[in-house]
Amino acid sequence: MIKMSGQSKGRKVLVFGLSHMNLKKLKEGLPIFIHGEEMGNPGMDMIIFSGKDERSMEEMVRPFLSPDTEVIDRTKERRN
């Protein structure tokens, strides 16, 4: 994996490049955890994961999040 933190067109950006090994792990259901400190964002960690559909992905990641975490499902907006 390659990780970058910088700016593009005046906006902050985080960039993650996934290797084929990373993709293999994601397909096996293993999430990738990134500590915010590595990216210049202390206090904010990131989780990259994949799943069959939105429901299965939410179930997969829920154990890592607090109960009050809001799920934003943008696919519902695209369907309307």
How high is the pLDDT of residue 77?
A: 55
How high is the pLDDT of residue 62?
A: 85
* CA gap 45, 1 in Å, rounded: 16
Using one digit for the tens of pLDDT, what is the confidence trace for 25-80? Answer: 999 989 999 998 988 888 889 999 998 888 888 888 888 888 888 888 766 655 55
Cα–Cα nearest to 23, from 55, 42, 1, 46 = 1
Give the residue with greater pLDDT, 61 vs 10: 10
**Residue 13 pLDDT greater than 70, yes or no:** yes
The pTM (predicted TM-score) of the whole model is 0.73
* Cβ-Cβ contacts under 8 Å for 66 (sequence gap 6 or more): none
Note whether 57 and 29 are within 8 A (CB): no
How high is the pLDDT of residue 9?
A: 94
